[in-house]
Structure 1
Amino acid sequence: MFGYYFKLGVRSLRRNPALTALMVITLAVGVAASMSTLTILHMMSGDPIPQKSQRLFVPVLDSGPKEGWSPGQDPDDIQMTYRDATNLYDAGKVGERRAIIYGVSMAVEPERKDLGAFSEQGLAATHDIFQMFEVPFKYGQPWTAAEDKGAADVVVLSTGLAERLFGNVNPVGKRVRMKGVSWQVVGVADHWKPLPRYYHIISGNGEYGEEEGFYVPFATAIRHETQHSGSMNCNERNAIPGFNGILQSNCTWIQFWIEAASAGDRGDVSSYLDNYVHEQNRMGRFPRNQPAKLYNVMEWLDLNKVVGNDNRLAVWLAFGFLALCLVNTIGLLLAKFSVRAPEVGIRRALGASRREIFTQFLIETAVVGLVGGAIGLTLAYGTLGLLSMGSESMKNLAHMDASMLALTLVLSIAAAILAGLLPTWRACQVTPALQLKSQ
């Protein structure tokens, strides 16, 4: 019976083409507007590393002065000082892995004559970053712990930068000149662009920007006095000038990550950090002596307001527009079904029950929703394509995955059925005797 009613629904689309086209287009526009904004929000707010997000943590230590501070006040900054980052990293007593990260920008001097010098964004990090964040490799491998400790002049290139410098070949073992230093290529990271870029969302390429161009050892970047590319908060004047003064100061400019064995180890990590704060307080640092704060990946994204209220408001407005389209669709369906009152009366007189009439008309509205969803999906793709031309960040966000594709079709059919409930119920109330008498 379902198949028969479905065929009737398809035929009804041709019965009044102008009215049907108006319903389908109204529904399609509403679905396209709502799904375009929902798709972008979905990409922005997704878990970038679901298999590990509950056991990757960012510690925030309050190293600010006590003057002008009141208990319960948030830390002045959520980054970390060089001294604290290296202390926690070298201690090796917390978590399975630890990673120090800061953004850098270097001038690249290609050997190719057809390429001029250009600036590239990258990361200075400890070697654990690759295994911690599951960075895939196309060629080679990360630098070793010994190269990390020895501050070796080695580099891991992104696939994009490697192809730009050397073409489509394996460049491992070759050298590239950056910042006036000759670096040996030890690996090439395959395309790795988690959204959002949770591992380095403060400054750098932004939450949804392009992948890093290169990675160099943290100790090597410090040895070459490579300035950070990003924000820095200094709540006191440095007593020592120059780069060395920054390293010994309480300026916060480094991001530090801890990978625990499981999410259940969060308490142990917090206890270790609190003990570290108390120890430093006894040495004259951390005058506020506040407990350390710990954030997993999703909490870290929320703290940094990666998904703003404006983005959520845009989705609500889009779904409000869809509701308005549904109201118009209800009116059009009422007009469409009212014309068919004589048909309903004859069917009722021949023995069709109200339930059968209700089912038939509801399936017909589902057919409208299916066609509207297909057109709405096409419009949504077009809208996302236009949005992707606006910026690099939007280019990375404005595309549908399989779940959003399925949701678009389901939403369209569900919206059409919802809009058809009232007109269908009205159609079932037709009195057969009155319709037969009027014929």
Structure 2
Amino acid sequence: MFEYYFKLGLRSLRRNRALTALMILTLAVGVAASVSTVTILHAMSGDPLPHKSDRLFVPMIDILPLKGYVPGEKPSFSQSQISYIDAQNFMRSKIGVRRAVMYGVAGPVEPMRKDLGVFNAQGMAPTRDFFAMFEPPFLYGQPWSEADDASGADVIVLSRALSEKLVGSANPVGQRVTVLGRPYLVTGVLATWDVVPRAHHIIGTKGAFGPEDEFFMPFASAIRHETEHDGGMSCNGDNNAPGYQGRLASGCTWLQFWFEMASSGERGQLQQYLDAYAGEQRKLGRMKRNAPNRLYDLNEWMGFLQVVDNDNKLAAWLAFGFLLLCLVNTIGLLLAKFSVRASEVGIRRALGATRRDIFSQFLIETSVIGLAGGVLGLLLAFGALAVVSQQSEDLGTVAHMDIPMLLLTFAMSVLAALVAGLLPTWRACQVTPAIQLKSQ
């Protein structure tokens, strides 16, 4: 019977092509608007490391002056980074499976190719555990060694894009590239790493949805060469002093730190360490506010930094509101379409069709409209996302549709059509055969 009703639905759509096209277009526009918005929101709020996000923690301690402090106030964004002193202490703590400290760097790259001039590139200076912690895929080579990490050797890992720009498709491992005015030995090349959001280093000039970093050099090497940071810094802490060495000895906060624990159940152990550390620092005259020490896992961290802000959520609700408006219009069009078929329903009922048969027929017909609206809505959504991606590089990283969102488009379209068709279908089932036969 399903196949029979499906064919009836297709025939019915050809009877009034203008009205059918209007219903499909109305449904497609509503679905496209909502799906394209939800697609962007889905990409922005996605978990980049779902298998370990509850084991990755950002510590937040308050080393700001006591003046102006209001007990119980929420931590500010300026407290989301730590000082060099605290980073070194955390690295020596041996707490957890891995520890990583990092900061953004940027500067000129001098290619060996004569046809390519000097250009600027942005990268990061992390410790070696960064690679095992956030799992970027390698195309060639590997991260630098623990000895390189400890000594601050002049080694570097390139992104695939930067490697291809410098040497084409060749393997550059073992060669030297001049970055920031110094030669660095290439130990590895990452494969394309388009993780979204870039939760590992949201704070910086690129943000959560910027393009991938172009190179990675050891944290100790960057510090040894007094490489300037590329990102935000707050110097409202204690013992501030001028110069690079003064910054290292001061309370200026400009570094990002991550702990990786063996399991999410070890969060309490890490919290105890953080509280004990703050207590020791207060004995040394630091952390006078005695503010609560906080831990954020990866998803909590993105929430704290408002990776998906209220404007994005409001846009999603408005898109669904627009879809609801389109459904209301579709309901009106379906009522108009089904009302002129009252005589057909009356004859079918007189010939023995039950209300259930009529309901099934019209509902399947409505689902056909939903499928057609889904195909058109998908095309419109792809077009909308293409337009959005052209607005900025950041939007280009999130304005793309994956398989789950593709399936959601069809499911949403068919479901929306079925919901819209419930009232018209119910009204069609209420037709009294006797009255319709007398009017013929």
TM-score range, shorter chain: over 0.9
**3-state DSSP of counterpart to 1:182:** strand
8 Å CA contact 2:155, 2:187 repeated in 1? yes
In structure 1, the residue corresponding to 2:217 is in which secondary structure? Answer: strand
**Could you say which residue in structure 1 is the equivalent of 2:192?**
191
What's 1:70 paired with?
70
User: Does the aligned pair in 2 maintain the 1:173–1:184 contact within 8 Å?
Assistant: yes
SS in 2 for 1:343: helix
Change beyond 3 A, Cα 1:351–1:157? same
SS in 2 for 1:108: strand
Report the residue type matching 1:267 in the other structure.
G
Q: Tell me the distance in 1 between the aligned counterparts of 2:68 and 2:332.
A: 63
Deviation per residue, 1:66-97 (Å, 9 max, x gap): 122122133452100000001110222x1100
Q: What's the counterpart of residue 85 of structure 1?
A: 87
* Distance in structure 2 (CA, Å) of the matches to 1:5 and 1:180: 73
Query: Which AA in structure 1 matches 2:303?
Result: D
For residues 6 and 402 of structure 2, the distance between their equivalents in structure 1, rounded to whole angstroms, comes to: 29
Q: Counterparts of 1:128 and 1:23 in 2: how far apart (Å)?
A: 56
TM-score, normalised via structure 1 length: 0.98
1:54 paired to 2:50: no
Are 1:206 and 2:210 an aligned pair? no
SS at match of 1:226: coil
Aligned residues: 438
2: distance between equivalents of 1:306 and 1:99? Answer: 21
Counterpart in 2 of 1:423?
424
Matches within 5 A, 1:163-178: 163-178=164-179
Contact persistence 2:240–2:251 (CA under 8 A): no
Cα deviation code 1:377-405 (max 9, x no counterpart):
11111111111111111111111111111
Give the superposition deviation at 1:291.
3.3
Deviation readout 1:258-285 (Å, 9 max, x if unpaired): 0000000000001011111101111111
2: CA distance between counterparts of 1:314 and 1:406?
Answer: 21
Distance in 2 of aligned mates of 1:429 and 1:366: 20
Distance in 2 (CA, whole Å) between partners of 1:438 and 1:295 is: 72
Contact 2:140 2:188 in 1 (8 A): yes
| Residue equivalent to 1:283 | 284
Q: Distance in 2 between matches of 1:216 and 1:185?
A: 10
- Aligned counterparts of 1:23 and 1:281: Cα–Cα separation in 2: 69
* Alignment check: 8 A CA contact 1:385 1:398 kept: yes
Contact 1:141 1:188 in 2 (8 A): yes
Q: Is the 8 A contact 2:240 2:252 kept in 1?
A: no
| Alpha-carbon distance in structure 2 between the residues aligned to 1:67 and 1:312 | 36
How many Å apart are 1:289 and its aligned residue? 2.4
- 1:226 corresponds in structure 2 to 227
Q: Is the 8 A contact 1:121 1:204 kept in 2?
A: no
Q: For 2:213 and 2:124, how far apart are their aligned partners in 1?
A: 7
Q: Which amino acid aligns with 2:287?
A: F
Q: CA deviation at 1:236?
A: 4.9
Runs of 4+ in 1 over 4 A off after TM superposition: 236-239
Does structure 2 conserve the Cα–Cα contact (< 8 Å) formed by 1:5 and 1:360?
yes
Residue of structure 2 equivalent to 1:142: 143
Question: 1:279-300 CA deviation, whole Å, 9 max, x = no partner?
Answer: 1111111112233200001000
User: 1:20 offset after TM fit, Å?
Assistant: 0.6
Residue 33 of structure 1 corresponds to which residue in structure 2? 33
What is aligned with 1:162?
163
Distance 1:251 1:34 in 2: 44
Compute the RMSD of aligned alpha carbons: 1.1
Query: SS where residue 210 of structure 1 aligns?
Result: coil
- Residues 303-338 of structure 1 show CA distances to partners (whole Å, capped at 9, x for unaligned) of 000001111111111111111111111111111111
| Matches of 1:289 and 1:85, distance apart in 2 | 19
For residues 96 and 161 of structure 2, the distance between their equivalents in structure 1, rounded to whole angstroms, comes to 33
Query: In the alignment, is the contact (CA less than 8 A) between 2:63 and 2:237 conserved in 1?
Result: no
TM-superposed deviation, 1:136: 0.8
1:396 paired residue number: 397
* Match in the other structure for 2:17: 17
Confirm or deny that 1:321 pairs with 2:322: yes
The residue identity in structure 2 corresponding to 1:121 is Q
Offset of residue 372 of structure 1: 0.7
- Summarize deviations over 1:86-126 as a string: whole Å, max 9, x none: 1110222x110000010001211111111111111000010
Q: Matched residue of 1:30: which SS? A: helix
Unaligned runs of at least 5 residues, structure 1: none
Query: Following TM superposition, by how much is the alpha carbon of 1:203 offset from its aligned partner in structure 2, in angstroms?
Result: 1.3
Query: Which residue of structure 2 aligns with residue 3 of structure 1?
Result: 3
| Structure 1 pair 248–384 and aligned structure 2 pair: CA distance change class (3 A) | same
Residue in 1 that maps onto 2:335 = 334
Is the 2:56–2:260 contact (alpha carbons within 8 Å) kept by the matching residues of 1?
A: yes
**1:193 to partner: Cα distance:** 2.0
Match for residue 300 of structure 2? 299
Tell me, in whole angstroms, the C-alpha distance in 2 between the residues paired with 1:65 and 1:73: 14
Query: SS state of the match for residue 54, structure 2?
Result: coil
Partner of 1:103: 104
Alpha-carbon contact 1:277-1:290 (below 8 Å) kept: no
Equivalent position amino acid for 2:222 in 1: A
Cα distance in 1 for partners of 2:332, 2:234 equals 59
Q: Note closer, same or farther for the CA distance 1:239–1:432 as it changes in structure 2 (3 Å cut).
A: closer
CA distance in 1, matches of 2:321, 2:117: 51
**Take 2:324 and 2:290, find their aligned partners in 1: how far apart are those partners?**
53
Length-normalised TM-score, structure 2: 0.98
Q: Tell me by how many angstroms 1:33 deviates.
A: 0.7
SS of aligned partner of 1:72: coil
8 Å CA contact 2:31–2:377 kept in 1: the answer is yes
Aligned-partner SS, 1:142: coil
- Provide the rounded CA distance (Å) in 1 between the counterparts of 2:210 and 2:64: 31
Alignment-mate amino acid for residue 219 of structure 2: F
Partner Cα distance (1:61, 1:240) in 2: 20
